[in-house]
Amino acid sequence: MYVRPWRIDISRSPSVAPLVPAISLARIAADALAAAGAPPPASISLILSDDRELARLNADHMGDDGPTDVLSFPMLPPSIFPLHAGKQADRSAGPPIEPAFRAPARQRPHLGDIVISVERAVAQAKGRGGQTGDVTWSAADELRLLVVHGVLHICGWNHAVAEEREAMRALEREVMARP
């Protein structure tokens, strides 16, 4: 699906009910890509799955047991994205930054893949008032938040870093509030 300048590839496991129309998920993913300063044009993949699949991926790729709500698999280094709150300190203390990313002419780079457990989205909306624990909303809104959250991870954001956590949550709220 194209939401210019982005291509958003969405697939849904047969075991997952469609909570949100694909176009709505593509639009919010595009809003998050733009808000994070992703280099256009580019593509991402969004895979809607279940707890079983996320538990397997979580074990295989993160070394953690059990399902999680969202996993992001970035294809490009975080340094190609604009600096954001919390990253200034990270980069000033670390090794030199790679040169700015330039996509090959007439090619659309793939930024990464996001896999979401729709089951987790439903449970989190019911159980603790949203992924952030500070809102009460529908499972559809929780799924939208997980899309935004996954996109921000693709774009180099990391809420495990204290300096980035609040800025990431603020950007998630900003993107979610857009019409």
What does the pLDDT look like over 10-53, one tens digit per residue? 999 998 988 899 999 999 999 999 999 999 999 999 999 999 99
Average pLDDT, rounded, for the chain: 86
CA–CA–CA angle 167, 117, 18 (5° rounding): 110
Quote the CA–CA distance of 22 and 98 in Å, as a whole number: 35
Quote the CA–CA distance of 10 and 21 in Å, as a whole number: 11
The percent of residues in the chain predicted with pLDDT above 90, rounded, is: 57
Alpha helices by DSSP H, 104-138: 118-127
121 touches 48 (CB < 8 A): no
Q: What is the mean pLDDT of residues 78-104?
A: 60
146 touches 16 (CB < 8 A): no
Q: Which of 109, 80, 157 is nearest to 7 (CA)?
A: 109
Structural domains of the chain, ranges and CATH numbers in brackets: 2-89+109-177 (3.40.390.30)
Quote the CA–CA distance of 153 and 131 in Å, as a whole number: 15
53 touches 12 (CB < 8 A): no
Quote the CA–CA distance of 7 and 109 in Å, as a whole number: 10
Quote the CA–CA distance of 42 and 8 in Å, as a whole number: 9
Q: Whole-prediction pTM value?
A: 0.87
Q: What is the mean pLDDT of residues 55-82?
A: 90
For the chain, strand residue ranges (E) read 2-3, 6-12, 42-49, 70-74, 110-117
Instruction: Tell me the per-residue pLDDT of 126-143, one tens digit each, with 9 for 90 and over.
Output: 866 555 566 678 899 999
Q: How confident is the model at residue 89 (pLDDT cuts 50, 70, 90)?
A: very low
